[in-house]
Amino acid sequence: MGHPQIQRGGEPIRLFKSDVLEFFTHIHPLVVVVIWLPVAVVFFGRGLATPALGPAAMVGGLLAGVVIWSFVEYVLHRFIFHFRPRTSWQERLSFLFHGVHHAQPQSKTRLVMPPPVSLPLGLTFYGLFYLVLAVLIGRPAWIAPVFAGFTLGYLAYDLTHYATHHFRMRRGYFKQVRQHHWRHHTQTPDQRFGVSSPVWDWVFGTEPDQ
């Protein structure tokens, strides 16, 4: 399937006949904050209340969670959102996941991850953190700060994604991030998969030469 042609304006593309399903495809960015910021705060508080964790461990856990998210962000965008469909139903699924965003990149209500997608993903990754940190490594105290950092990383990603499409971001790092993401949309849809950071594009060779 080719990449969808960009539509600069007009009504949002309708994805479902059902009004209920269609409703859940339109998400205001504040919904992400309302759901996930309290989750990050709760897990951060649990980490602070854990006697086995000192300040250095808390900071290390938070940073580890942010780094893990940045890698997950890259993997999801490159291999899930941009997977190559081989059948008609895969093409339909690809458009629902991400193709609609490339078709209408300025649609304000389709720039953050819908809760019906983000909540199951969050539970899945929490389960993975529990399996690795508590079961395999035997360090359950680390779950709280790492998951707090992971959640903050996700929040930064979704809000950065919204900002790259609707704020000027004229200076510094955020200007670079905005340019990087818009080049993904307009020049290299099969490269530049990092949204909140281009670091994994550099690591895996998906950052083209300027």
Q: What is the pLDDT of residues 102-134, one digit of tens each?
A: 999 989 999 999 999 999 999 999 999 999 999
| Within a domain: 22 | no
| Within a domain: 75 | yes
| Within a domain: 63 | yes
| Within a domain: 49 | yes
| Within a domain: 27 | no
Give me the mean pLDDT over the 183-194 stretch: 95
Better-scored residue on pLDDT, 9 or 93: 93
Give me the mean pLDDT over the 167-191 stretch: 92
The total number of structural domains that make up the chain:
1
Q: Are 180 and 193 in contact (CB under 8 A)?
A: no
SS3 label, residue 193 = coil
Whole-number pLDDT of residue 183: 94
Determine the Cα angle at 154 with ends 151 and 160, to 5°: 140
Kindly give the residue spans of alpha helices, DSSP state H, lying in the chain.
19-23, 29-48, 55-75, 88-94, 100-103, 115-129, 143-166, 172-186, 199-204
Whole-number pLDDT of residue 14: 93
Question: For residues 173 and 194, what is the distance between their CA atoms, to the nearest angstrom?
Answer: 14
Q: Are 81 and 167 in contact (CB under 8 A)?
A: no
Is a pLDDT exceeding 70 seen at residue 47? yes
| Within a domain: 5 | no
Whole-number pLDDT of residue 2: 47
The residue range of the domain holding 86 is 42-204
| Within a domain: 104 | yes
Q: How confident is the model at residue 169 (pLDDT cuts 50, 70, 90)?
A: confident
| Within a domain: 36 | no
Helices (H) and strands (E) in the chain, counts: 9, 0
Question: For residues 120 and 153, what is the distance between their CA atoms, to the nearest angstrom?
Answer: 17
Mean pLDDT for the chain?
92
